[in-house]
Chains A and B, each alone.
Chain A
Amino acid sequence: QQQVKQSPQSLIVQKGGISIINCAYENTAFDYFPWYQQFPGKGPALLIAIRPDVSEKKEGRFTISFNKSAKQFSLHIMDSQPGDSATYFCAASMSSGYSTLTFGKGTMLLVSP
Protein backbone atom coordinates (compact mmCIF):
# COMPACT_ATOMS: atom_id res chain seq x y z
CA GLN A 1 0.00 0.00 0.00
CA GLN A 2 1.37 3.39 -0.95
CA GLN A 3 2.24 5.58 1.97
CA VAL A 4 1.11 9.03 2.95
CA LYS A 5 3.49 10.52 5.49
CA GLN A 6 2.04 13.05 7.93
CA SER A 7 3.74 15.38 10.39
CA PRO A 8 3.84 16.43 13.12
CA GLN A 9 2.39 13.66 15.23
CA SER A 10 1.07 16.21 17.71
CA LEU A 11 0.77 19.96 17.79
CA ILE A 12 -0.03 22.55 20.44
CA VAL A 13 -1.09 25.98 19.25
CA GLN A 14 -2.33 28.98 21.17
CA LYS A 15 -5.79 30.30 20.51
CA GLY A 16 -5.68 32.65 17.54
CA GLY A 17 -2.52 31.09 16.13
CA ILE A 18 -1.97 29.22 12.87
CA SER A 19 -1.91 25.43 12.89
CA ILE A 20 0.03 23.77 10.07
CA ILE A 21 0.01 20.05 9.32
CA ASN A 22 2.06 18.60 6.48
CA CYS A 23 1.70 15.51 4.34
CA ALA A 24 3.83 13.93 1.64
CA TYR A 25 2.90 11.17 -0.76
CA GLU A 26 4.78 8.83 -3.04
CA ASN A 27 2.33 7.66 -5.68
CA THR A 28 2.12 10.20 -8.51
CA ALA A 29 -1.16 8.61 -9.60
CA PHE A 30 -2.90 10.04 -6.53
CA ASP A 31 -5.26 12.78 -7.63
CA TYR A 32 -7.54 13.41 -4.69
CA PHE A 33 -6.32 14.74 -1.36
CA PRO A 34 -8.86 15.13 1.46
CA TRP A 35 -8.38 16.05 5.09
CA TYR A 36 -10.50 14.43 7.77
CA GLN A 37 -11.16 15.72 11.28
CA GLN A 38 -11.85 13.37 14.17
CA PHE A 39 -13.13 14.34 17.61
CA PRO A 40 -12.80 11.94 20.56
CA GLY A 41 -15.43 9.21 20.47
CA LYS A 42 -16.49 10.08 16.94
CA GLY A 43 -15.68 8.87 13.48
CA PRO A 44 -13.55 10.97 11.14
CA ALA A 45 -15.44 13.50 9.03
CA LEU A 46 -14.41 15.20 5.80
CA LEU A 47 -13.08 18.68 6.46
CA ILE A 48 -11.77 19.89 3.11
CA ALA A 49 -10.36 18.31 -0.05
CA ILE A 50 -8.29 19.31 -3.06
CA ARG A 51 -7.53 17.97 -6.52
CA PRO A 52 -4.12 18.61 -8.13
CA ASP A 53 -5.44 20.99 -10.78
CA VAL A 54 -5.29 23.79 -8.19
CA SER A 55 -2.53 24.78 -5.78
CA GLU A 56 -4.74 26.05 -2.99
CA LYS A 57 -8.25 25.65 -1.67
CA LYS A 58 -9.78 27.69 1.11
CA GLU A 59 -12.92 27.08 3.12
CA GLY A 60 -13.39 29.51 5.95
CA ARG A 61 -10.40 29.27 8.29
CA PHE A 62 -9.15 26.07 6.66
CA THR A 63 -6.79 26.11 3.67
CA ILE A 64 -5.11 23.29 1.77
CA SER A 65 -1.88 24.14 -0.03
CA PHE A 66 -0.79 21.66 -2.68
CA ASN A 67 2.66 21.32 -4.29
CA LYS A 68 2.46 18.76 -7.07
CA SER A 69 6.17 18.80 -7.97
CA ALA A 70 7.19 18.21 -4.36
CA LYS A 71 4.35 15.71 -3.82
CA GLN A 72 3.35 17.53 -0.67
CA PHE A 73 0.20 19.10 0.67
CA SER A 74 -0.59 20.85 3.89
CA LEU A 75 -3.51 22.01 6.01
CA HIS A 76 -3.46 25.48 7.50
CA ILE A 77 -5.93 26.43 10.21
CA MET A 78 -6.04 30.19 10.65
CA ASP A 79 -7.17 31.80 13.92
CA SER A 80 -7.14 28.39 15.62
CA GLN A 81 -9.84 27.89 18.24
CA PRO A 82 -10.13 25.47 21.18
CA GLY A 83 -13.00 23.82 19.30
CA ASP A 84 -10.52 22.87 16.57
CA SER A 85 -8.77 20.54 19.02
CA ALA A 86 -9.05 17.16 17.32
CA THR A 87 -7.05 14.61 15.36
CA TYR A 88 -6.51 15.50 11.72
CA PHE A 89 -5.82 12.96 9.00
CA CYS A 90 -4.59 13.66 5.52
CA ALA A 91 -5.41 11.10 2.85
CA ALA A 92 -4.92 10.39 -0.81
CA SER A 93 -6.54 8.27 -3.50
CA MET A 94 -6.66 7.70 -7.25
CA SER A 95 -9.72 8.38 -9.35
CA SER A 96 -8.85 5.67 -11.89
CA GLY A 97 -9.97 2.14 -11.19
CA TYR A 98 -11.26 1.31 -7.77
CA SER A 99 -9.19 3.08 -5.16
CA THR A 100 -9.70 3.56 -1.46
CA LEU A 101 -8.24 6.32 0.65
CA THR A 102 -4.76 5.89 2.05
CA PHE A 103 -4.60 7.78 5.33
CA GLY A 104 -1.69 9.47 7.05
CA LYS A 105 -1.06 8.54 10.66
CA GLY A 106 -2.84 11.55 12.06
CA THR A 107 -1.94 14.71 13.96
CA MET A 108 -3.40 15.43 17.38
CA LEU A 109 -4.01 19.17 17.57
CA LEU A 110 -4.55 20.92 20.88
CA VAL A 111 -5.49 24.58 20.80
CA SER A 112 -4.89 26.12 24.20
CA PRO A 113 -7.28 28.85 25.40
Chain B
Amino acid sequence: DTAVSQTPKYLVTQMGNDKSIKCEQNLGHDTMYWYKQDSKKFLKIMFSYNNKELIINETVPNRFSPKSPDKAHLNLHINSLELGDSAVYFCASSQVDSYSPLHFGNGTRLTVT
Protein backbone atom coordinates (compact mmCIF):
# COMPACT_ATOMS: atom_id res chain seq x y z
CA ASP B 1 0.00 0.00 0.00
CA THR B 2 1.29 3.45 -0.92
CA ALA B 3 1.59 5.55 2.23
CA VAL B 4 1.33 9.00 0.62
CA SER B 5 -0.16 9.03 -2.84
CA GLN B 6 -0.61 12.00 -5.07
CA THR B 7 -2.25 12.34 -8.46
CA PRO B 8 -1.56 13.01 -11.19
CA LYS B 9 2.11 12.12 -11.54
CA TYR B 10 2.51 14.39 -14.54
CA LEU B 11 0.53 17.49 -15.42
CA VAL B 12 1.11 19.48 -18.60
CA THR B 13 -1.04 22.53 -19.12
CA GLN B 14 -1.09 25.95 -20.69
CA MET B 15 -0.64 29.29 -19.03
CA GLY B 16 -3.80 30.71 -17.55
CA ASN B 17 -5.42 27.35 -16.84
CA ASP B 18 -6.58 26.13 -13.44
CA LYS B 19 -5.46 22.75 -12.18
CA SER B 20 -5.61 20.60 -9.04
CA ILE B 21 -3.31 18.04 -7.48
CA LYS B 22 -4.73 15.53 -5.04
CA CYS B 23 -2.99 13.93 -2.08
CA GLU B 24 -4.02 11.17 0.28
CA GLN B 25 -2.17 9.52 3.16
CA ASN B 26 -3.09 6.25 4.86
CA LEU B 27 -0.60 6.53 7.72
CA GLY B 28 -3.01 8.05 10.21
CA HIS B 29 -0.88 11.18 10.43
CA ASP B 30 -2.45 14.41 11.60
CA THR B 31 -0.21 16.84 9.71
CA MET B 32 0.11 17.23 5.95
CA TYR B 33 2.27 19.48 3.79
CA TRP B 34 2.85 20.72 0.29
CA TYR B 35 6.43 21.29 -0.85
CA LYS B 36 7.67 22.72 -4.13
CA GLN B 37 10.89 21.44 -5.67
CA ASP B 38 12.35 23.66 -8.36
CA SER B 39 14.62 22.73 -11.25
CA LYS B 40 17.65 23.04 -8.97
CA LYS B 41 16.12 20.51 -6.58
CA PHE B 42 15.54 23.06 -3.82
CA LEU B 43 12.71 21.94 -1.52
CA LYS B 44 10.55 24.74 -0.19
CA ILE B 45 7.54 24.37 2.07
CA MET B 46 4.36 25.94 0.81
CA PHE B 47 1.65 24.92 3.26
CA SER B 48 1.15 22.84 6.36
CA TYR B 49 -2.15 21.57 7.73
CA ASN B 50 -2.76 20.00 11.12
CA ASN B 51 -6.08 18.22 11.58
CA LYS B 52 -7.55 20.08 8.60
CA GLU B 53 -6.46 23.47 9.95
CA LEU B 54 -3.95 25.65 8.09
CA ILE B 55 -0.84 26.01 10.23
CA ILE B 56 1.78 27.36 7.89
CA ASN B 57 1.33 29.42 4.77
CA GLU B 58 4.67 30.47 3.43
CA THR B 59 5.01 33.29 0.94
CA VAL B 60 3.02 31.66 -1.81
CA PRO B 61 0.91 33.52 -4.37
CA ASN B 62 -2.77 33.41 -3.50
CA ARG B 63 -3.33 31.63 -6.81
CA PHE B 64 -2.38 28.55 -4.79
CA SER B 65 -5.14 27.34 -2.50
CA PRO B 66 -4.87 24.20 -0.40
CA LYS B 67 -7.98 22.36 0.69
CA SER B 68 -8.17 19.69 3.37
CA PRO B 69 -11.54 17.90 3.39
CA ASP B 70 -10.34 15.58 6.15
CA LYS B 71 -7.04 14.88 7.84
CA ALA B 72 -6.12 12.16 5.34
CA HIS B 73 -6.42 14.44 2.31
CA LEU B 74 -4.76 17.67 1.29
CA ASN B 75 -5.38 18.92 -2.22
CA LEU B 76 -3.70 21.81 -3.99
CA HIS B 77 -5.58 23.98 -6.43
CA ILE B 78 -3.71 26.41 -8.63
CA ASN B 79 -5.46 29.21 -10.53
CA SER B 80 -4.19 31.12 -13.54
CA LEU B 81 -1.08 29.00 -14.00
CA GLU B 82 2.16 30.77 -14.90
CA LEU B 83 5.37 29.52 -16.51
CA GLY B 84 7.17 29.95 -13.19
CA ASP B 85 4.83 27.47 -11.54
CA SER B 86 6.56 24.65 -13.43
CA ALA B 87 8.13 22.43 -10.77
CA VAL B 88 7.66 19.16 -8.93
CA TYR B 89 5.11 19.41 -6.14
CA PHE B 90 5.41 17.02 -3.23
CA CYS B 91 2.80 16.17 -0.69
CA ALA B 92 4.03 14.89 2.67
CA SER B 93 2.63 13.86 6.01
CA SER B 94 3.87 13.35 9.55
CA GLN B 95 2.75 13.15 13.12
CA VAL B 96 2.66 16.52 14.86
CA ASP B 97 5.65 15.46 16.99
CA SER B 98 8.61 17.59 15.86
CA TYR B 99 10.83 14.53 15.68
CA SER B 100 8.44 12.58 13.51
CA PRO B 101 9.81 11.98 10.00
CA LEU B 102 8.15 13.38 6.94
CA HIS B 103 6.71 10.82 4.54
CA PHE B 104 6.69 12.18 1.01
CA GLY B 105 4.64 11.18 -1.98
CA ASN B 106 6.38 10.61 -5.30
CA GLY B 107 5.62 14.06 -6.59
CA THR B 108 3.61 15.68 -9.36
CA ARG B 109 5.67 17.17 -12.17
CA LEU B 110 3.81 20.26 -13.36
CA THR B 111 4.82 21.75 -16.70
CA VAL B 112 3.23 25.00 -17.77
CA THR B 113 3.64 25.87 -21.44
Contact B98 A99 (CB under 8 A): yes
Number of A-B contacts (CB under 8 A): 57
Q: Separation in Å of the B58 CB from the closest CB of chain A?
A: 8
**Residues 3-38 of A contacting B (Cβ, < 8 Å):** 32, 34, 36, 38
- Which residue of B33, B101, B105 is within 8 Å of A49 (Cβ)? B101
Number of interface residues of B (CB under 8 A): 25
Contact B106 A41 (CB under 8 A): yes
- Which residue of B45, B58, B104 is within 8 Å of A45 (Cβ)? B104
- Which residue of B4, B48, B55 is within 8 Å of A43 (Cβ)? B4
Contact B33 A100 (CB under 8 A): yes
Number of interface residues of A (CB under 8 A): 27
Contact B56 A100 (CB under 8 A): yes
Give Cα distance in the complex from A106 to B44, angstroms: 12
Q: Separation in Å of the A98 CB from the closest CB of chain B?
A: 6
User: Is B102 an interface residue, CB under 8 A from the partner?
Assistant: yes
Residues of B within 8 A of A99 (CB): 98
Residues of A within 8 A of B107 (CB): 41-43
A-B contact pairs, 16 of them (CB 8 A): A32-B98, A41-B107, A44-B90, A45-B103, A46-B101, A49-B99, A87-B41, A94-B98, A96-B98, A98-B50, A98-B56, A99-B98, A100-B33, A103-B42, A105-B41, A106-B43
What are the 5 tightest A-B residue pairs by CB atom distance, in nearest-first order? A43-B104, A46-B101, A95-B98, A103-B43, A106-B41
